[in-house]
Amino acid sequence: MLMSGIEVNLMIGIRQKLMLGFGGLLAVIAAIGVMTMAQIDDLGRAIDVILKENYRSVVACQDMKESLERMDSGILFTLAGNKVEGNRLIKQYSPKFRVALDVELSNITLPAEQERAERIMTLFEEYTKAIPAVTQISRSLETRHAGYFSTLQPLFQEIKKEAHEILLMNQANMTEANNAARRLADAAHRRMLMAIIASAFLALLFSYLAQRWILNPINRLTESTKEIRRGNLDLVLEPGSRDEIGLLSESFNEMTSALRQLRKEDMANLMRTRLATQEIFKALPSAVAVLDLDGRVEVSTEAADRYFGLKQGVLAENLGYEWLPHLIQKALDENRVVESGLNKSYVQQFINNREYFFQPMAVPITVGKQSMEPTGVALILKDVTLVREQQELKSGVLSTVSHQLKTPLTSLRMSIHLLLEERVGALNEKQIELLVAAREDSERLAGILDNILDLNRIGSGRSYVSPEAVSPQALVRDAIEPFLADARDKGVKITSAVPDDLPDVMADIEKIRHVFANLLSNAIRFTSPGGSVTVRASLEPNHLVFIVEDTGNGIPAQYINHLFEPFYRVPGQDEKSGVGLGLAIVREIIQAHGGTVGAESEIGKGSAFCFTLPLSGEK
């Protein structure tokens, strides 16, 4: 029987438990309300008795006594000789006495009150009949005095006595009713106090049961979720009851069981994927490594291990490569692909007594499409040894050819100069015309060779930049000044729109002047008279952007991406505009400063060439 009772108790759900607890409180509140209403009704009735019944009799008796005294005063006025005033008082207050007497007769509420009221009525009738005998002037004063003291005065006293007795009876009843109301109030107070105590007890009992039935199981579930968050999926909860909490505990156990199975499957899939990834990595010919957020190698190819020591479990900062930690950290901080490191295009390695060159690239790894936070970084070391050798071969050939051409070209330019000065004989007009054309072509060829040599030196790293802190306003002002005369002669307005509050930039002044010279000469050349060329600058994070804008004819969109390639010329340009090396040299100079170049253009509206320079103090 005991087990059966326990089982029934366990079958009670949370809803029933809450209804039981709140139902008890509701019952107590309802009982308190009913008792309060009943007590209020009893108090109301007691007060009604006091106000509606006894109070009317008290007022009526007081009115009778006052009216009778006024009538007695009128009789005394007549005895004193003031007949008019005396009769007025008698006539005025006799009806008022009768009205008060009628009120009393109609409001009999106490035993013996009826008898006394009727006696007052009888005595008042006798009193009114005896008044003429005392107030008649025709009778002697002695007779009237004798009649007053023998008849009216005793009746007056008797009537007042009876009215006073009735007043005292009603006042005593009012006092008793008041005491009864107080007793009812005290009883109501005691009942209310008991009801409040009972409610508090039930509330405490329900709080205890709620904690035992609901809060404790919920706390166990909360602690269990914390254990699961810490990775303890082997946790099993005891249901403890068959209510909703018990069902939730069973569902919780089923969930952890499913999670254990999923974890087992995920671990198997992860191991399979990891092993496959390792095998694939081993087969890759390139040097590739995957590192976690701490810079520790998780997986790498054999080439990465052999060439750079990027073994599994090794910290990148412990390998001794100055550029490597910086490259990885920059990719993680900026969450973008970062190439090379410490402003070096290639990394040089000596392997088996042979020189190799690699181009490093760090790629942030994010999980899923929604998450933008990197969870690691992929380090790719591209072998560019062959490219480097080809570049060096090309640079060597260009340098050799340029130098070999420069010597005979200098001799040729000198010869043309001497001929034009007519030191070896006079020239006719046609000979002068041919020699001037030859001089212009030789000067143009010399400029091309100089550009080729400059491009070769910058590209090979033999022409180093020596940046120093310089004001962008001064840099632009000095760059514009040599072109003011040419722009004025052509009718083109050239202006500087560089703000005065910009910070200093790091720049090799001579080489940046060469950059501005190329951009400004092109802008003036391709801007029609009446147009304008404007140099602007704006501050962006870590660098300053310089823009050279013109109002020329513009460049077709399909040619924009090729403008900075060596020997590229936009189709349709004049042959005198050059061979396409100026913008290539600009790109090499800016990249040597650690900046970038770009161009935008719109047909009929002009072009804008921009480049960036690092701020003073920025790395």
CATH number of the domain enclosing 594: 3.30.565.10
CATH number of the domain enclosing 205: 1.20.120.1730
Q: How far apart are CA 539 and CA 574, in angstroms?
A: 36
- pLDDT tens digits along 57-82: 888 899 988 998 999 998 889 888 88
Q: How far apart are CA 324 and CA 360, in angstroms?
A: 9
In the block, tokens 């007497």 appear at 101
Is 270 within a domain?
A: no
The parent domain of residue 198 ranges over 24-213
* Maximum average pLDDT range among 26-40, 113-127, 575-589: 113-127
Average pLDDT, the chain: 78
Is 162 within a domain?
A: yes
Average of pLDDT values for 493-497?
92
Same domain for 339 and 395, yes or no, is no
Q: Decide if pLDDT at 6 tops 90.
A: no
Domain finish residue from 333, 349, 383: 383
Tell me which of 5 and 610 has the higher pLDDT. 610
Q: Is 417 helix (H, G, I), strand (E, B) or coil?
A: helix
Report the pLDDT value the prediction gives residue 320, as an integer from 0 to 100: 79
Same domain for 438 and 549, yes or no, is no
Contacts of 518 (CB under 8 A, 6+ apart): 582, 583, 585, 586
Tell me which of 100 and 565 has the higher pLDDT. 100
Average of pLDDT values for 145-173?
89
- pLDDT tens digits along 268-295: 777 777 676 666 666 677 788 888 888 8
Contact (Cβ atoms closer than 8 angstroms) between residue 597 and residue 526? no
Same domain for 481 and 455, yes or no, is no
Residue 44 pLDDT class (50, 70, 90 cuts): low
Average of pLDDT values for 413-428?
74
Could you tell me the pTM of the whole model? 0.38
**Proportion of the chain above pLDDT 70, given as a percent:** 76
Same domain for 344 and 450, yes or no, is no
Report the pLDDT value the prediction gives residue 245, as an integer from 0 to 100: 66
Average of pLDDT values for 477-496?
92
Q: Decide if pLDDT at 520 tops 90.
A: yes
Q: Decide if pLDDT at 45 tops 70.
A: no
Domain finish residue from 197, 213, 229: 213
Contact (Cβ atoms closer than 8 angstroms) between residue 159 and residue 120? yes
Is 241 within a domain?
A: no
Contact (Cβ atoms closer than 8 angstroms) between residue 517 and residue 482? yes
Q: Which two tokens stand for residue 482?
A: 């040599």
Is 244 within a domain?
A: no
Same domain for 513 and 537, yes or no, is yes
Is 237 within a domain?
A: no
Q: Is 296 helix (H, G, I), strand (E, B) or coil?
A: strand
CATH number of the domain enclosing 441: 1.10.287
Report the pLDDT value the prediction gives residue 343, as an integer from 0 to 100: 42
Domain count, the chain: 4
CATH number of the domain enclosing 311: 3.30.450.20
Same domain for 65 and 190, yes or no, is yes
Q: Decide if pLDDT at 227 tops 80.
A: no
Same domain for 192 and 319, yes or no, is no
Q: Decide if pLDDT at 502 tops 80.
A: yes
**How many C-alpha atoms does 413 have within 13 Å on its Cβ side?**
14
What is the strand order of the sheet 597-602 is part of? 493-497, 532-540, 543-550, 606-614, 597-602
Alpha-carbon radius of gyration of the chain: 60
Same domain for 447 and 333, yes or no, is no
Is 349 within a domain?
A: yes
Same domain for 399 and 297, yes or no, is no
Residue 610 pLDDT class (50, 70, 90 cuts): very high
Same domain for 497 and 453, yes or no, is no
Same domain for 419 and 495, yes or no, is no
Same domain for 448 and 538, yes or no, is no
